Structure 1
Amino acid sequence: MNEVSIQFGEPLQEGIFLERTNRFIVRCRLSNFYSAGEVVEAHLPDPGRLKELLIPGCRIWLRSANNPNRKTRWSAVLVEDPNGKDFVSLDTTLPNRLIQKALESGYMEEFYGWKFQCTEYTLGDSRWDFLLQNAEGRDMLLEVKSVTLKKDGIGLFPDAVTARGVKHVRELTKFAIQGEVEAALLFVAQREDIDIIKAATDIDEVFALELHKASRAGVHILGRKCHVSLQGISLGDPVKVVSKKLKA
């Protein structure tokens, strides 16, 4: 089956990252021949901490915004990992878009026998990224989390304390215990240079503990990585997610 991918559709503009002025704005110096040296502001679609990636002087790639009502003319798309070999996507909307395409096409063997029903499905106290259903009419809630942080070849989530993430995992655990629906949590690494995904215990120990409880309760804990290039992003191979047992 052909790969599931999203193409950027236009050449990206290379620049040098200078600083992050707030959660959603970065300042960069363009490197293009026609505009080299121009300093611009760009929208950052990933509100995460990203301090291991957004290092002053690193290479970053931007896409021009055609919306005249935008405050910024540019959006940040990719950043080069400090190793100088790999790209990391900075758009947290891409994993959900990729997974939706994969679910609709039946691309993912993890969900063999499950059919895509809808997005943004409300159950309990949350809206869930996807609702799936099998031939027997049983439902599955699927929540997707974007992973960008890496250490020693391991993808880590989260990169900052996440009360929302803890809430989601606790609710999925409750659904799994009650047994009325299946519950699944899928971590999507927006990079290719990882072999495993773990909870970032030193950043959010509560999330790590809840992830372990969810795994023990029957929540399906899954992972995928992505291939990222200057042309687009495609869904890569499955990766194992390890949930470490911690003291309550």
Structure 2
Amino acid sequence: MFMPYRDRLYKATFIERPNRFIIRARKEDGETVTAHLPDPGRLIELLIPGREIWLRYVDNPKRKTQWSAVLCESEDARVYVSLDTMFPNRLITQALKEKRIESLKKYNYIRAEYPFAGARWDFLLENKGRSLLLEVKSVTLAENGIAYFPDAVTARGRKHVEALTTIQNEGNCDTAVLFVVQRGDVTSVRPATHIDPAFASALQKAADAGVAMLAVTTDVRLEGVELGQELPVQLNIQKGPIK
């Protein structure tokens, strides 16, 4: 399943990142522009001065910046990595409606942004009257063919997982976490214990409680993104990437 980008992409060279949501880059015509960065993660292995990055122009006078970062080269320049944390939800919406994810094929898509138990969940699915709450996590960090989440400490992400654990234990509906790896050069997903041990611990407890752990890869191209295969989520692994 392929989802094309809605806008034309412009090639640029990354210069700097003044804050979590802003970057500066030099376009091919020599113009230096300020662009919104949709991914607030650390991205220190990706956003390196001189690395190629692709932007889209946003014609909206209400915005502080008229440019947004879309993707960049991977560390070894072998693949592209998406920098848009909102894109996975658009991709997964279509994938769920078309039943493109094997592990979730038996579920029918009901709605997105479902409010339940004091939180808003990415998707509500249903199978034979049984509901499933699905939370999507965007993954960009990878090393030696393994994707890691998160790439920075995430109290919000931990609370999401803890809430899913509580809901799963109550038994009123099923729950799942879906890691969407926004690059195509990995074969598995692991919690980044070396970055956020509290999140990794919460994820393990969630899995032990019955929260389903799912992952898919993507093939990021200059024209759009192709949904890839499902990947295993490896828990109970304490070590981080080998340096």
TM over 0.5: yes
TM-score normalised by L of structure 2: 0.95
Q: Could you report, residue by residue, the CA deviation over 1:53-112 in whole angstroms, capped at 9, with x for unpaired residues?
A: 001110000111111222212110011012011100000001111111011112211112
Instruction: Confirm or deny: 8 A CA contact 2:180 2:217 kept in the other structure.
Output: yes
Partner of 1:119: 112
1:66-105 residue pairs with structure 2 within 5 A?
66-105=59-98
Distance, in Å, in 2 between the alignment partners of 1:99 and 1:179 is: 25
Instruction: Confirm or deny: 8 A CA contact 1:9 1:231 kept in the other structure.
Output: no
Q: How many percent of aligned residue pairs carry the same amino acid?
A: 50
Superposed displacement of residue 235, structure 1? 1.0
TM-score normalised by L of structure 1: 0.93
SS at match of 2:201: helix
SS at match of 1:171: helix
Provide the aligned length of Structure 1 versus Structure 2. Answer: 238
Instruction: Confirm or deny: 8 A CA contact 1:209 1:245 kept in the other structure.
Output: no
Distance, in Å, in 2 between the alignment partners of 1:225 and 1:121 is: 24
Structure 1: gaps of 5 or more residues = none
Instruction: Confirm or deny: 8 A CA contact 2:145 2:186 kept in the other structure.
Output: yes
Matched, 1:138 2:135: no
State the Cα RMSD in Å.
Answer: 1.1
Superposed displacement of residue 12, structure 1? 1.2
Given candidates 207, 215, 222, the residue that maps to 1:215 is: 207
Partner of 1:165: 157
SS at match of 1:100: helix
Partner of 2:190: 198
Given candidates 34, 42, 53, the residue that maps to 1:60 is: 53
SS at match of 2:233: strand
**4+ runs deviating over 3 angstroms:** none
Q: Could you report, residue by residue, the CA deviation over 1:188-237 in whole angstroms, capped at 9, with x for unpaired residues?
A: 00000000000000110000011111111110000000010000012110
Matched, 1:232 2:224: yes
